[in-house]
Structure 1
Amino acid sequence: MKTIDLFSGCGGMSLGFQNAGFEILSAYDNWEAAVNIYKENFSHKIYTMDLGDEKVVEHIKQFPSDIIIGGPPCQDFSIAGNRDYKSKRANLTISFANIIADVKPEWFVMENVYNIEKSPVLPEAVKILKDAGYGLTKRVLDASYLGVPQARKRFFMIGHLYSEDGFLNAEIDDNLSVKQMTVYDYLGDSIGTEFYYMHPRSYNRRAVFSIHEPSATIRGVNRPIPEGYKKHPADKAEISENVKALTTKERSYIQTFPEWFQLVGSKTAMEQAIGNAVPVKMAEFVAMRIMEYKAEIGNRGKNHDELREVTI
């Protein structure tokens, strides 16, 4: 399936879909630091463009595609910050929907934070997509049940022209893991410690985790253990018990980027790009479910044709 990735970031969605057998034709983003990482890891072209500009549609139409994927910027829907549903970034969700409605690929996938379900922007985007003829599957998925060692919840909206709403639910439900993946399940002892530090959003939250549980959500901030850190009641160990902060590369592993994936730029930019990315295995899971559904409707059509030939 020929694929275009919008708001591609450093390439988590692209790599996941590529791993599932999709052919990425081109990618688009407007953040130079992420674009530079993307260029290091993919052979196809990535364009630095403002996807809020209506002129971008004509550029995208150069690449006849079966599916458009993407994660519009999510900061203004995030539980972590001040929500501003009328901001330019929030409007990029509407831009994504308008691009889909104009280009009309057979399929699309949009990813965002799960809090988008509480925003007034989502119904507006849904109306644009329904009016364009798409059946929609809307799900909040937990990455730790999809082969990712991280309890990261994300909203996915998958569209297919002329399908019924909820068309992909069975494929998703049938393939969820029965248990959450832990860091140890995925990485074994490779990070060299049983307990590690992840800088919390606030010191009301714990910061010391065990490899025998899923990681908390990897964010765009990675700081060393502060001097005089006081143990949170929920921390899995005392700081003195061989606890270490994860390296940039180790954080990329928890996002399921492979070892060969090249990270370039300043440490701050690399951490932000990793934190913003869709986990590779999460994207791959969604891509595989689309492939299964596509095969199923193909077989349904084949069986219908065979029945018609017998009847004739």
Structure 2
Amino acid sequence: MPYKYKGVSLFTGAGGMDVGFEKAGIQVVWANEIDKDACATFKENHRESFLREGDISHYINELNDLKNIDILFGGPPCQGFSVAGKMDPEDIRSQLIWTFIEAIERLKPQVFVMENVKALGTLEKWKDVRESILKRTSSMGYTCFPFLLNSSHYGVPQKRERVFFIGFLEKKIEYEKMMLRLKQLMEKPTSIRETLAPLGPANTERNPLTCTAKITLASNPIMRKSPYAGMIFNGMGRPLDIDHYANTLPASMGGNKTPIVDEELLYGNAINDWVVEYHSALLNGKIDSKFQQVPNRLRRITIKEAALLQTFPEDYVFKGSKSAIYRQIGNAVPCKLAEIVAKLVISELENEPIIRNQNIDVGQVTFEDFLLI
């Protein structure tokens, strides 16, 4: 496709953001990633992009030689800020956001987009960090706003909440106007069933069986109101409600933390949901012979299925071991969400008029409906 803008991608991973930005019309001319498996994946799928493999500190001086870069984007490692981690401000991974800020200073792009976990955008613990990001980028001439977006509001079959720091160089940006653009771009997510069913059953040509981690009943179930929450099976992999969207896919997939799907509900002719029935039996204390073990119809999602739930193209090729591939998928920004963000910044750059989405009355949608404060 013809590209209108030039972009630089940092902390690139497997290239989820790159897929979305390229679809929006941004040519990735220079990228950097340290993980060797993710690098192999990126090079396989983005053959026209120049990739520097290794620690960004070894190559950051090269950014001084890149001219006329329109957009810098990327997601510095987030484990230091994540509520799923130790939330250690001294974690070396936390410091990489400042490397991204340094890259902004060297490149001086028209726009930058820095993605990270929800906690960085919401928790009081990280207030000083947020304020430092805004202060430093403002001193460089940027107007920057943090946006907290839920991918399921933008057509992604997965609830994934992320903060995006978006800054424009020497351009007056109206926050309310950007909010309206985001509302206009909202889209109902496809269901898990709609997303995965075209692949066909696991262990077939389009859907190779990958995760073989056994599913067993939890000896001490942790119950929740929903059968798709809590912990009624071994491990952290919860069952998916195939007629809705998934919860956030973790980078720790590949073993018993991989989500569970009911093959017969998804691809067969089953009319009953075994997970719902088992959950009900647990609540009522009526565990009969039907619920003594997990039926074969329940299995972990495959690599292909995980990638589609992250909105990677079906023909996207992943490199590395099974665990490395699941990690790349779980670490990625959903491609479709990245495309939405790219379209947002391009529409602002080009001062496009705001066109109301026919399916959404923006006058009735509040800021909190899509920006998770």
Normalising by structure 2, report the TM-score. 0.70
> Which residue does 1:61 correspond to in 2?
64
Structure 1 residues 217 and 45: CA distance shift in structure 2, 3 A: same
C-alpha separation in 1, matches of 2:86 and 2:251: 16
Deviation of 1:29 after TM superposition, in Å, equals: 1.1
Q: Is the 8 A contact 1:13 1:278 kept in 2?
A: yes
Unmatched segments (≥5 aa) in structure 2 = 203-212, 216-220, 223-229, 232-237, 261-274, 279-293, 355-373
Aligned counterpart for 1:150 among listed residues 152, 155, 158:
158
Q: For residues 81-120 of structure 1, what are the structure 2 equivalents within 5 Å?
A: 81-117=85-121, 118=123, 119=126, 120=128
Q: Secondary structure at the match of 2:80?
A: helix
Deviates more, 1:235-244 or 1:70-79: 235-244
Name the aligned partner's letter for residue 7 of structure 1.
F
Structure 1 residues 225 and 277: CA distance shift in structure 2, 3 A: closer
> Which residue does 1:38 correspond to in 2?
42
Deviation of 1:298 after TM superposition, in Å, equals: 10
C-alpha separation in 2, matches of 1:236 and 1:182: 18
> Which residue does 2:181 correspond to in 1?
171
Unmatched segments (≥5 aa) in structure 1 = 230-234, 300-312
Deviates more, 1:61-70 or 1:254-263: 61-70
Deviation of 1:213 after TM superposition, in Å, equals: 1.0
Between the aligned residues of both structures, percent identity stands at 30
Q: Is the 8 A contact 2:254 2:326 kept in 1?
A: no
> Which residue does 1:160 correspond to in 2?
168
Q: Secondary structure at the match of 2:133?
A: helix
Q: For residues 260-275 of structure 1, what are the structure 2 equivalents within 5 Å?
A: 260-275=315-330
> Which residue does 1:286 correspond to in 2?
341
Q: Deviations over 1:190-234 (max 9, x none)?
A: 4549xxx999xxx743411121111111111224569xx9xxxxx
C-alpha separation in 2, matches of 1:135 and 1:188: 44
Structure 1 residues 198 and 141: CA distance shift in structure 2, 3 A: farther
Q: Secondary structure at the match of 2:31?
A: strand
Structure 1 residues 222 and 2: CA distance shift in structure 2, 3 A: same
Q: Secondary structure at the match of 1:39?
A: helix
Q: Secondary structure at the match of 1:61?
A: helix
In the comparison of the two structures, how many residue pairs are matched? Answer: 286
Q: For residues 175-190 of structure 1, what are the structure 2 equivalents within 5 Å?
A: 175-177=185-187, 179-188=188-197, 190=199
- Displaced runs of 4 or more, over 4 A: 223-226, 235-239
Deviation of 1:274 after TM superposition, in Å, equals: 0.8
Q: Is the 8 A contact 1:144 1:182 kept in 2?
A: no
Deviation of 1:149 after TM superposition, in Å, equals: 0.5
Name the aligned partner's letter for residue 38 of structure 2.
A
C-alpha separation in 1, matches of 2:296 and 2:50: 47
Q: Does residue 129 of the first structure (1) align with residue 160 of the second (2)?
A: no
Name the aligned partner's letter for residue 176 of structure 1.
M
Structure 1 residues 237 and 130: CA distance shift in structure 2, 3 A: farther
Deviates more, 1:162-171 or 1:268-277: 162-171
Q: Is the 8 A contact 1:225 1:244 kept in 2?
A: no
Q: Is the 8 A contact 1:136 1:165 kept in 2?
A: no
Q: Deviations over 1:268-296 (max 9, x none)?
A: 11111111111111101111112222222
Q: Does residue 50 of the first structure (1) align with residue 58 of the second (2)?
A: no
C-alpha separation in 2, matches of 1:34 and 1:122: 28
Name the aligned partner's letter for residue 50 of structure 2.
K
After superposition, the CA RMSD in angstroms is 2.9
